[in-house]
């Protein structure tokens, strides 16, 4: 899995703070901009978050390139509807290298690991045979396992990212999309630490909606960190 | 593949016509309702469509149950963001029957058909072995081919459906989602023939944006109908 | 202000429960439907809400007719983007009756009340004069006060409604849209009490993001109920 | 009216072209980036538009500051739901200067102009009196005419902008929002001429859905340009 930020709103924190500030002020936007020192931006953004005034966070956009994730994960990813996706097409691009994801629970045991690896490689080789027999790419792909990797470029704004992180960095999330989310969070925090100061699973704010799993999760989560 | 409409806005055509009518009228809504005979609704809806006044079409919602489609197709389906989806979870529901989709181009030739069938069945059997070895469902599923079927309930409004049909009943669409779209169109037309009077690929309106494939498509399309 | 539900998803609670149920089950949808007694639907929906599994709530749609609200309020209403709106057009429909909204803080004092009433009536009469002088409706309307009433039909799903109620039944919301929200909540609760069991401002769940106003709000809120 | 672009995706054309390119290619993203000379980006973006492959256009975002528009226009603007808005609040910011918009059809005749100006100024002065009498800002504002100006910051992606320009640069659009749209179009064209090469009313592409007004519009449109 490789994740990079291809592009983002320049000065995302200033833009968000400025948009929010001017909505409560009669001052000129240029004057408000001058007043917004980095310290003020920082404290103001955290205050906005705490008050759940999240709509200004939408002005900051981030474009990610994600490579080497399974289609299990891309299928979950694109369920987040407030975002823009451009995914590598299995209709038009042949899966040549046949890279695939191996879950830890399978990798951990040599018997399951070899069973799995053989199965995936066999499927990829049958995919190639089908193509050689004249089957179109878009049909041969039906034999490919969900573990075969894909590439996707997507753009999300900071408000949707905060929501995404809430769901997907949680221990209740499926492990691969959690890895994607954790890596994304690390990357956006480098660019905009104050926009994402409170980002993370709901328990970061002291609230866990999935209460019945709570003890298990807390324990596991601690063990992890 | 099995598609049914589970639920829909009652009197969807009247609601759409009424919403549109009242926006240009000072009359009472009840009086407008009385004036809206089936004939008037019918001609008014077609006129609205022709003038691209599509926002009132959003008041009519349709909830579909789709079973027996591959995850190739569900992955494409959920890319339509102005809709609501609840899909059967491969994290929590074991794939027991192992039903799968076979593309025509594979089915047509016994050599490719048997190659494909063996490959998919073998993958499903390894999936079961992995589970027996203690691998969690959510990880064993990585070995499953995209052809294994899924079930999904989704709700779309008539405006988004018109857009969906434009893209997905077109010959340029992938064949399985085209089958889904054609079946959906048949079902909604029974309920609301006037909302979907002009529904179909762009060429229905005499415009084909993918001009370079145009001759091919037109020919194929004629052969089909 | 007059609010009515024009239409809604039939059996909205059953549809939501069914959609959610089938995503975690390998059983047939018809069988799941049979199992879903009213008691089970009721407890299951509340559990879904508590676990923040809100996406199935989107399958239930409600279409409202709202009349007699000011454009102050319609401007706020249409800011909720996950919904469909058809509003009476001031470009095309003449404001003949000149009905308008009077805020309580103005009505309470005879001096402000008469000042306000005279001002609004004078504006409406100048609007009519401008039309008589040949000014188009769409331009004469620039003189109309925000208090002049409008009519709007809109469709929202239950998930967005829950979000709408969270923001707009809160004492921090502007009073007129709060009245709209409270009335809407009363209406949907009659139809789907379990979908909206926890609906209301955030303090219903014991959390108030706008902490600094907290004491004031709690007191006022109690006084109100 | 004053419109500025506060921020936008850096290299918006390259990002859109790159996202689209990689979805049909097995090449590395860095290599695709090297291949994408300005000439290739230019011709590729126009081709994408012509083929209606618009989803990659969503990766380019533009943040606008609009000042001095009436609330007639801001009410229409925020109806575009695929965008993010932060508007100056009339609940919290006092309308001190009382700037307002005057439509041409009113300005053109001294009798209507003076009638209108007097009415708006009188309303603003009563607004101030109400505040002096202790009426809260959020209630006094009910007396303000729709012509009083507002300020709004909003972010839209290039795909939604293309849709916005289609509707709002058309002669059928209300004149003030048309002015906003034309100014926005000029600004984005300076930054990304290829993303917006075909931007404009539907007749730019030779299609006018509002056929019944067509002759009138065409004539007027020609006179304008």
Tell me the pLDDT tens digit for each residue of D66-88: 999 999 999 999 999 999 999 99
The model's confidence at residue A214, banded by pLDDT at 50, 70 and 90, is: low
Please give the Cα distance from C188 to C194 (Å, whole number).
10
CA distances from B26 to B23, B51, C94 (A): 8, 22, 7
Please give the Cα distance from A71 to A57 (Å, whole number).
29
The model's confidence at residue D224, banded by pLDDT at 50, 70 and 90, is: very low
Is the pLDDT assigned to residue A210 strictly greater than 80? Answer: no
**Chain D contact partners (≥3 CB pairs within 8 A):** A, B, C
Half-sphere exposure of A21 (CA within 13 A, CB side): 23
Which of A51, A207, A209 is the closest to C210 by Cβ?
Answer: A51
Backbone angles phi and psi of C173, in degrees to 5: -75, 155
Q: What is the number of other CB atoms lying within 10 angstroms of the CB of residue B2? A: 10
Which of C15, C92, C155 is the closest to B59 by Cβ?
Answer: C155
> From the CA of D50, how many Å to the nearest CA of chain A?
18
**Chain C contact partners (≥3 CB pairs within 8 A):** A, B, D
Tell me if B102 and A126 make a contact (CB, 8 A cut-off).
no
CB-CB neighbors (< 8 A) of A26 in chain D:
88, 93-94, 96
Phi-psi region of A206 (alpha: psi -120 to 50; beta: other; left: phi over 0): left
- For residue C78, the chain D residue with the least C-alpha distance is D79
End-to-end C-alpha distance for chain B, whole angstroms: 21
Q: What number is the average pLDDT over the span C8-26?
A: 97
**Cβ(C80)–Cβ(C28) below 8 Å:** no
Mean residue pLDDT of chain D comes to 92
Closest CA to C173 of C83, C101, C79, C106: C79
**Cβ(D126)–Cβ(D143) below 8 Å:** yes
The model's confidence at residue C214, banded by pLDDT at 50, 70 and 90, is: low
CB-CB neighbors (< 8 A) of D110 in chain C:
none
Token digits of residue D116: 């209108």
Tell me the pLDDT tens digit for each residue of C164-208: 999 999 888 999 999 999 999 999 999 999 999 999 888 777 677
Mutate to test the interface with D, among C145, C171, C210 (most CBs of D within 10 A): C145
Tell me if A89 and D19 make a contact (CB, 8 A cut-off).
no
Please give the Cα distance from A81 to D62 (Å, whole number).
20
Is the pLDDT assigned to residue C219 strictly greater than 50? Answer: no
Mutate to test the interface with A, among C51, C55, C173 (most CBs of A within 10 A): C51
Q: What is the number of other CB atoms lying within 10 angstroms of the CB of residue B52? A: 14
Is the pLDDT assigned to residue A78 strictly greater than 70? Answer: yes
**Cβ(D176)–Cβ(D70) below 8 Å:** yes
Closest CA to B159 of B202, B199, B205: B199
The CATH fold of domain B2-67+75-83+154-224: Gyrase A; domain 2 (3.30.1360)
DSSP for A73-122, please give it: HHHHHTT--SSEEEE--TTTS---S--B---HHHHTSHHHHHHHHHHHHH
Closest CA to D137 of B208, B174, C146: C146
Closest CA to C52 of C134, C171, C216, C166: C166
Tell me the pLDDT tens digit for each residue of D189-198: 999 999 999 9
Which residues of chain A from 101 to 120 reach within 8 Å of chain C, CB to CB? Answer: none
Closest CA to D69 of D167, D188, D200, D183: D183
The model's confidence at residue A206, banded by pLDDT at 50, 70 and 90, is: low
**Cβ(B61)–Cβ(B155) below 8 Å:** yes
**Chain B contact partners (≥3 CB pairs within 8 A):** A, C, D
List of chain B residues with pLDDT < 50: 216, 219-225
Active site residues of B: 168
Give me the sheet containing C84-87, strands edge to edge.
C2-8, C61-70, C149-157, C84-87
Closest CA to A71 of D99, B16, B146, B39: B146
Token digits of residue C179: 């009245």
The predicted structure's pLDDT at residue A216: 46
CB-CB neighbors (< 8 A) of B211 in chain D:
50-51
Question: Which residues have C-beta within 8 Å of that of residue C206, sequence separation ≥ 6?
Answer: none
The model's confidence at residue D225, banded by pLDDT at 50, 70 and 90, is: very low
Q: What number is the average pLDDT over the span D114-135?
A: 97
Three state DSSP letters for chain C: CEEEEEEECCCHHHHHHHHHHHHCCCCCHHHHHHHCCHHHHHHHHHHHHHCCCCHHHHHCEEEEEEEEEEHHHHHHHCCCCCCEEEECCCCCCCCCCCCECCCHHHHCCHHHHHHHHHHHHHHHHHHHHHHHCCCCHHHHHHHCECCEEEEEEEEEEHHHHHHHHHHHCCCCCCHHHHHHHHHHHHHHHHHCCCCCCCCCCHHHHCCCCCHHHHHHHHHHHHHHC
Please give the Cα distance from A155 to A6 (Å, whole number).
10
- Between helix D12-23 and helix D38-50 the angle, nearest 10°, is 70
The predicted structure's pLDDT at residue D212: 53
- For residue B52, the chain D residue with the least C-alpha distance is D209
The answer to which of A208-217, C154-163, D132-141, D150-159 has the lowest mean pLDDT is A208-217
The predicted structure's pLDDT at residue D220: 44
Query: Given CB atoms, is C210 within the 8 Å cutoff of chain A?
Result: yes
Mutate to test the interface with A, among B81, B87, B143, B147 (most CBs of A within 10 A): B143
CA dihedral of C49, C51, C57, C58, whole degrees rounded to 10: 140
CB-CB neighbors (< 8 A) of A136 in chain B:
105
Tell me if B86 and C20 make a contact (CB, 8 A cut-off).
yes
Q: What number is the average pLDDT over the span D105-117?
A: 97
Backbone angles phi and psi of B202, in degrees to 5: -60, -30
The predicted structure's pLDDT at residue A171: 84
Is the pLDDT assigned to residue C215 strictly greater than 60? Answer: no
Say which residue the tokens 């599509």 belong to: B54
Bridge-based pairing of strands C61-70 and C149-157 is antiparallel
The model's confidence at residue A124, banded by pLDDT at 50, 70 and 90, is: very high
The model's confidence at residue C140, banded by pLDDT at 50, 70 and 90, is: very high
- For residue A149, the chain B residue with the least C-alpha distance is B142
Tell me the pLDDT tens digit for each residue of A90-100: 999 999 888 99
Q: pLDDT above 70 covers what percent of chain A?
A: 92
Is the pLDDT assigned to residue D217 strictly greater than 90? Answer: no
The predicted structure's pLDDT at residue C209: 74
Three state DSSP letters for chain D: CEEEEEEECCCHHHHHHHHHHHHCCCCCHHHHHHHCCHHHHHHHHHHHHHCCCCHHHHHCEEEEEEEEEEHHHHHHHCCCCCCEEEECCCCCCCCCCCCECCCHHHHCCHHHHHHHHHHHHHHHHHHHHHHHCCCCHHHHHHHCECCEEEEEEEEEEHHHHHHHHHHHCCCCCCHHHHHHHHHHHHHHHHHCCCCCCCCCCHHHHCCCCCHHHHHHHHHHHHHHC
Say which residue the tokens 């200033």 belong to: A14
Tell me the pLDDT tens digit for each residue of D165-175: 999 998 889 99
Please state which architecture CATH assigns to domain A2-67+75-83+150-224: 2-Layer Sandwich (3.30)
> From the CA of A214, how many Å to the nearest CA of chain C?
11
**Cβ(C152)–Cβ(C71) below 8 Å:** no
Backbone angles phi and psi of D41, in degrees to 5: -55, -45
Tell me if B65 and C24 make a contact (CB, 8 A cut-off).
no
Please give the Cα distance from D200 to D173 (Å, whole number).
12
Tell me if B115 and A130 make a contact (CB, 8 A cut-off).
yes
Token digits of residue B134: 């203690």
DSSP for B127-148, please give it: HHHHHHTT--HHHHGGGSBTTB
Please give the Cα distance from D189 to D183 (Å, whole number).
10
Tell me the pLDDT tens digit for each residue of D148-189: 999 999 999 999 999 999 999 988 899 999 999 999 999 999
CATH for C2-67+75-83+150-200? 3.30.1360.170
Token digits of residue B207: 């415009």
Which of C52, C202, C211 is the closest to A209 by Cβ?
Answer: C52
> From the CA of A168, how many Å to the nearest CA of chain B?
15
Please give the Cα distance from B220 to B171 (Å, whole number).
8
Question: Which residues have C-beta within 8 Å of that of residue A35, sequence separation ≥ 6?
Answer: none
Tell me the pLDDT tens digit for each residue of D26-45: 999 999 999 999 999 999 99
**Cβ(D159)–Cβ(D13) below 8 Å:** no
CB-CB neighbors (< 8 A) of C202 in chain A:
52
The predicted structure's pLDDT at residue C20: 98
The predicted structure's pLDDT at residue B171: 84
Q: Which residues pair with A185 in a beta bridge?
A: none
The predicted structure's pLDDT at residue D61: 98
The predicted structure's pLDDT at residue A201: 87
Mean residue pLDDT of chain A comes to 92
The predicted structure's pLDDT at residue D175: 96
Domain ranges of chain D: 2-67+75-83+150-224, 102-146
> From the CA of A200, how many Å to the nearest CA of chain B?
22
Closest CA to C87 of D158, D78, D211, D127: D78
CB-CB neighbors (< 8 A) of B61 in chain C:
9, 61, 155
Active site residues of D: 168
The predicted structure's pLDDT at residue A224: 37
Tell me if A50 and C209 make a contact (CB, 8 A cut-off).
yes
CB-CB neighbors (< 8 A) of B93 in chain C:
23-26
- Between helix C175-191 and helix C158-168 the angle, nearest 10°, is 140
């Amino acid at each position: 899995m490789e994740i990079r930020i291809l592009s983002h709103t320049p000065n995302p924190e200033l833009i968000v703070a400025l948009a929010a500030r001017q909505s409560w002020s009669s001052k000129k936007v240029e004057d408000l901009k001058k007043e917004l020192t980095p310290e003020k931006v920082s404290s103001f953004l955290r205050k906005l978050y705490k008050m759940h005034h999240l709509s200004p966070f939408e002005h900051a956009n981030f474009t990610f390139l994600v490579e080497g994730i399974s289609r299990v994960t891309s299928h979950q990813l694109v369920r987040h509807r407030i975002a823009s996706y451009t995914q590598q097409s299995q209709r038009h691009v042949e899966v040549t290298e046949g890279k695939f994801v191996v879950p830890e629970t399978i990798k951990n045991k040599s018997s399951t690991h070899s069973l799995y690896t053989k199965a995936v490689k066999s499927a990829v080789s049958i995919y190639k045979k089908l193509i050689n027999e004249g089957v179109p790419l878009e049909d041969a792909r039906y034999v490919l396992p969900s573990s075969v990797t894909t590439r996707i470029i997507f753009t999300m704004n900071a408000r949707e990212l905060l929501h995404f992180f809430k769901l997907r960095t949680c221990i209740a999330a499926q492990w691969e999309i959690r890895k994607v989310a954790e890596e994304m969070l690390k990357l956006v925090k480098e660019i905009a630490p104050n926009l994402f100061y409170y980002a993370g699973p709901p328990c970061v704010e002291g609230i866990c909606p999935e209460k019945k799993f709570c003890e298990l999760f807390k324990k596991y989560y601690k063990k992890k960190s």
